[in-house]
Structure 1
Amino acid sequence: MTVFILVAGVFTGPQIWRATAARLVADGAEVHPVALAGLGGRPAVAGKAVDLETHVADVLAVIDSVVANAEPGGDVEAGTGAGPGREVVLVGHGYGIHPARVAADRRPGAIARIVHLDAGLPQDGVPAAAAVPDPSLREELSAGTHEMASTAQEVAMAGEAGTGGMAGALPPPDRDGWSRWGSTAGLSDAALDGLTALASPQPLGTLLQPVRLTGAAAAVPLTGVLCTADGPGVEMLQMVVDIGDPALRELADPRVTFFELATGHWPMLSCPDELARVLTRAAAGGGRRLVPACPAEPPAHLRPFLLDVPEHPRERNGNIDLYVPDSPGPHPAVVFVHGGPVPADARPTPRDWPTFRGYARYAAGRGAVGVTLDHRLHTVADYERAAADVADAVARVRADPRVDADRVALWFFSGGGPLMADWLTAPPPWLRCLAANYPILSPLPGWGPVGPRFRPVQALAHAGRLPLVLVRAGREDARIAATVEEFLTEAERCGANVEVVDVPNGRHGFETLGPADDDAREAVHRAAAAVLARLTATR
């Protein structure tokens, strides 16, 4: 028998699992939804603040009860197992993965598998607040400027006493506020009404107390259930692993599997039966696996560029490479700014990736200096450092006598999107165009606080008539696509000068990911022509 222990996310309690739990039980499983203190109607201990450790203790109590009841002679603290023929699968939804992972770290022998249900990878020393989806709310929590629950009942539910500023609670969202905590895609009106009616204030200490992990549960198999209307799918994770991010290297372990659900953040409400089937298959070890890096076959980002661009000599100068046209100058220049984060030890570095070499050679073949560079966006905390690298590279390019310093375009990719904000806020007169391919234009869930300086949506109002070319992938990651749509909505509101080039079947990184089709090739030609036309236009 499989024993499922279900740990709910923010503001929710055991009731949220009702339909999925019923299906699991009907299929022969044993199910234990965990009642977390202060949530779902379970009161906190009077006079004691609720923090992450409180919820860890709640999960441990259920694990220990399952083990003790199944194997009375077993060592509960050591976690000798749930008994013959019984395997415990610990499921954490959203925030719930944090107390679940800490509990598994303390009882690794009792857990057969951990399921991350639309949830990230908790890191030692990092609080759950870093994974809050809404960037402004993450910043409010980090700065302590969040709105706290105000009614006596709400504060009592979260516990009135505490230290370190962790007493009190966040009020639950109203019906229209759930999207700050995850996509509501797939929820019916009735389900959204029920979610709102059952919500409880979230004790602040559960979000602000750092996670503490020893690594004791590293050998426990994992399954990630990816809700693709709320986050990346398996292909996007494979790309990140291919680049060599050490923080995600464990995801390519054969003990780690993945499932996708085409829904938002609350699948137990939007597709409870399908979720139950996925959990059952996960318990049996099913699911897709990521492929570790293979020296014999290049990863997606190192596959050939989709256009057959003639070779062109390059000049390497520090962290920049220049592809200079053969004709006499000075020439306009296009600076291609890679995305990220890219691990510091990734080799080859981005300026040697086929996509950027291909674009730079393309520009040189049409009379512009193509420039690639390496900048130091190694983590999401590095945007200021990366911005300084880009600004320095642009200044050096403009100082080159072969470059027309008054005709420069900047072309950003993917996670380099936030770096656009500086140039939108105060466009210099020599900047003739900004371009962006499949850009991230707002901080994504799990990034932690990213300063207001790096928010292209907010900066757009200051861009005036600066020409913008945006290449949009039709099969984009849902979270990234949402930032692009937010940007375009703001562009329409403020009358920004944006040309959109669509790649209907394109994925994120379409230039090397997946087979190239005529639409993708044509999109590259159109985008490049648009940028080059703006470089040569008279004002």
Structure 2
Amino acid sequence: MSVFVLVSGPFTDGSIWSAVAGRLRESGAEAHPVTLSRRPEADLETHVEELVRLIDSLAPPGESVLVGHDYAIHPVLGAADRRPERVARVVHLDAGMPQDGDTALALVPDPSVHDLLRAEGRPGPVPPPEPTQWQRWGSTEGLSTRQLELLSRQAAPQPPHTLTQPLRLTGAAAAVPTTGILCTAGGTTVELVEALVRTGPPQFRRLADPKVGFFELATGHWPMLSRPDELAEVLLRAAADEGRRLTVSEGESRSLRPFLLDAPERQRVRNGRVDLHLPEADGKTGEARGPWPAVLFVHGGPVPPDLVPAPRDSPFYLGYARCTAGLGAVGAVVEHRLHGITDYARAADDVAEAVELLRADPRVDGQRIALWIFSGAGLLAADWITAPPPWLRCLALTYPILAPLPGWGAVGPRFGPVGALHATDGTPPPLVLTRAGLETPQIAATVREFVTAARETKAPVEIIDVPHGRHGFETDEPTDEARDAVSRAVRTVLAHLERPV
């Protein structure tokens, strides 16, 4: 039978696994709940070394299943990277997928922790949550008031450097089988992961590797307390190499497929973070005939900083920008830095800077600008809804996320387009919303909330539906429905640019 090493998230210790460890031992497996060092000077490296020593002490080698919950996936991956030959499987229990160089802080959903650790001076330990504050760290569905109170009583401060020290990986554990256990009350489901594999950056295709399996638990972020029997059963099944596998089509990555509309190449000018695709010059003189109106395309996210190709170089955004230029407006794409859910403020600054750069370009009519925002960047629309400038003629949103998803507490209240509709002092710019009929439920719920708020506030919104389209439908096999939707959206946005004030 397998040997389970159970490592919990911040503030908690090995006692949180008591019920699960008991069930595993009853099945004949070994279970080793871990309490990581709580010394104030401890850092991520401290915790990695503690796990390596434990793994080295276990026999037989190669049978250990390392279970990392929340923050603990960082030291678990660090230990597996150093002892891959002794690890049978790594289990991500409602945890992220950190890469080399990532810090745990990037995935901390509580914004107050970011403020604390970024304050001037030497940060002290992060205090554990009060009973009513645990929901800042994840869904508390399934936990009673008594359990929340017990969590707080048994919790200890988290050493600050465990959250801020980068994880260092060599890739040695890349061949170790992996299981993801998703707690669906937090909003993450296998369906959502599938959408990420299908439409996201090529790096996510590794989630479709046969060595990667998935399970769902219909509970909140602490299943070892809310569903110990179910969690123990799932861990045993994971050790037996069960779990749902994801598949993607062979061949070229969907993100590299040609754009679904004919979009001939146009003159392209790079200026900092912004690429401008220009309409055709005068046929006789060869000179620009501008100034032209412009559409600034804001790519989705979060995306890794080393994404290849970068969004503005991908066929997807090149296609949108070239189509726009072909119809007589500048198609611009901004390379913003939305690399994690804590980066929305930085990304918003990048977009604002790009807009000013675009408006200052002599080839652009600075009084006729549209913003076109995609997917996870949809939250950036809030600023432009709350205080719309007079030159913003249109705000287009394509399969956007329009409210922070469950577990995205670190985003903060500023980036809530639904609330922005109610908070705006004036009338928002005309809104063009493209909806995917087969959208993932979590994202679709935010869109429905936004549409309801738009109706209540009488915001001017035009909806373009793609009934058979999924999130990122432009990168699926092209259909007449998808082509018509994109063509209609482009022409609708440009029509708003041509209307007089």
TM-score (norm 1): 0.69
Shift of 1:129: 2.2
Task: State the match for 1:9 in structure 2.
Answer: 9
Alignment of 1:61-210 (within 5 A): 62-64=54-56, 67=58, 70=59, 81=61, 87-123=63-99, 126-134=102-110, 136-144=111-119, 164-167=122-125, 169-175=126-132, 177-184=133-140, 187-188=141-142, 191-200=143-152, 201-205=155-159, 207-210=162-165
The number of aligned residues is: 477
- 1:233-260 deviations in Å (ceiling 9; x for gaps): 33244247x6345xx6865666444445
Are positions 1:471 and 2:426 aligned together?
A: no
Secondary structure of 1:511 counterpart = helix
Q: Which amino acid aligns with 2:268?
A: R
1:369 aligns with 2:329: yes
Q: 2:286 aligns to what?
A: none
Task: From 285, 299, 322, give the equivalent of 1:338.
Answer: 299
1:508 aligns with 2:486: no
Whole-Å Cα distance in 1 between the matches of residues 478 and 235 of structure 2? 33
- Distance in 1, matches of 2:257 and 2:262, equals 16
Deviation at residue 508 of structure 1 after TM alignment = 2.3
Matched, 1:357 2:319: yes
Q: Is the 8 A contact 2:296 2:334 kept in 1?
A: no
Structure 1 gaps of 5+ residues are 39-43, 72-80, 146-162
2:473 alignment partner, SS class: coil
2:357 match: 392
- Letter of the structure 1 residue corresponding to residue 193 of structure 2: V
1:230 partnered with 2:187? yes
What letter matches 2:128 in structure 1?
A: P
Equivalent position SS for 1:199: helix
TM-superposition CA deviations, 1:372-424 (whole Å, max 9, x none): 4352548456634455345423543xx43xx7653332111124435545544
1:80-135, Cα deviation, whole Å (9 max, x unpaired): x16xxxx110101112212323343454443221111121234555442221124x
The answer to whether 1:411 aligns with 2:376 is: no
Q: Are the structure 2 counterparts of residues 183 and 313 from structure 1 closer, same or farther at C-alpha, using a change threshold of 3 Å?
A: same
* Match runs of 1:246-261 below 5 Å: 255-261=211-217
Q: What secondary structure, in the 3-state scheme, does the structure 2 residue paired with 1:142 have? A: helix
Amino acid at match of 1:197: E
State the Cα distance separating 1:213 from its structure 2 match. 3.2
* CA deviations over 1:277-321 (Å, ceiling 9, x no partner): 443333233445667996xx3322344556xx4555633333222
Q: Secondary structure at the match of 2:278?
A: strand
Deviations 1:58-97 (A, max 9, x none): 64565455x1xx46xxxxxxxxx16xxxx11010111221
Amino acid in structure 1 at the alignment position of 2:67: V
Cα separation, 1, equivalents of 2:290 and 2:276: 19
User: Would the aligned equivalents of 1:476 and 1:508 in 2 still touch at CA under 8 Å?
Assistant: yes
State the Cα deviation string for residues 9-64 of structure 1 (Å, max 9, x = none): 234444544554455445443323324566xxxxx8xxx76655665566456545
Rounded Cα–Cα distance in structure 2 between residues aligned with 1:277 and 1:92:
16
- Aligned-pair distance for 1:214? 5.1
SS at the partner of 1:429? coil
Preserved CA contact (<8 Å) 1:336 1:360: no
2:105 match: secondary structure: helix
SS of match in other structure, 1:137:
helix
The structural deviation recorded for 1:217 is: 4.1
CA–CA distance in structure 2, aligned partners of residues 32 and 473 of structure 1? 46
Q: State the superposition RMSD in angstroms.
A: 4.7
One-letter identity of the residue aligned with 1:464: G
The AA in structure 2 aligned to 1:299 is S
Task: Report if aligned partners of 1:49, 1:205 keep a CA contact under 8 Å in 2.
Answer: yes
Cα offsets for 1:328-384 (capped at 9, x unmatched): 9987543333234365562485465246625853x578x652614352548456634
Once the two structures are superposed, the pairs formed by residues 439-450 of structure 1 within 5 Å of their partners are 439-440=400-401
- Structure 1, 407-416 or 367-376: larger mean CA deviation: 367-376
Structure 1 Cα separation of the partners of residues 265 and 45 of structure 2: 59
Cα distance change, pair 199–271 in 1 and its aligned pair in 2 (3 A): closer
**Alpha-carbon distance in structure 2 between the residues aligned to 1:286 and 1:257:** 7
Q: How does the TM-score come out when normalised to structure 2? A: 0.74
> Aligned with 1:508: secondary structure?
coil
CA–CA separation in structure 2 for the residues paired with 1:218 and 1:311: 39
Shift of 1:199: 0.9
CA distance in structure 1 between the partners assigned to 2:439 and 2:227 by the alignment:
23
Q: Distance in 1 between matches of 2:268 and 2:315?
A: 15
**Structure 1 residue 442: Cα displacement:** 6.8
For residue 165 of structure 1, report the CA deviation from its aligned partner.
3.2
Instruction: Supply the distance in 2 between the matched residues of 1:465 and 1:226 (Cα, whole angstroms).
Output: 40
5 Å matches for 1:445-456?
none
3-state secondary structure, aligned to 1:407 = strand
Relative distance call for 1:443 and 1:491 in structure 2 (3 A) is same
On the 8 A contact 1:411/1:436 being kept in 2, the answer is yes
Range that drifts further, 248-257 or 191-200:
248-257
Task: Specify every segment of 5 or more residues in structure 2 that has no aligned partner in the other structure, as ranges.
Answer: 284-288
Contact preservation (8 Å) 1:473, 1:505:
yes
Paired amino acid for 2:427: R
Q: Determine the C-alpha separation between the residues in 2 that align with 1:324 and 1:506.
A: 32
The residue type equivalent to 1:321 in the other structure is: H
SS at match of 1:320: strand
Q: Secondary structure at the match of 2:474?
A: coil
2:439 and 2:17 map into 1 onto residues whose CA distance is 30
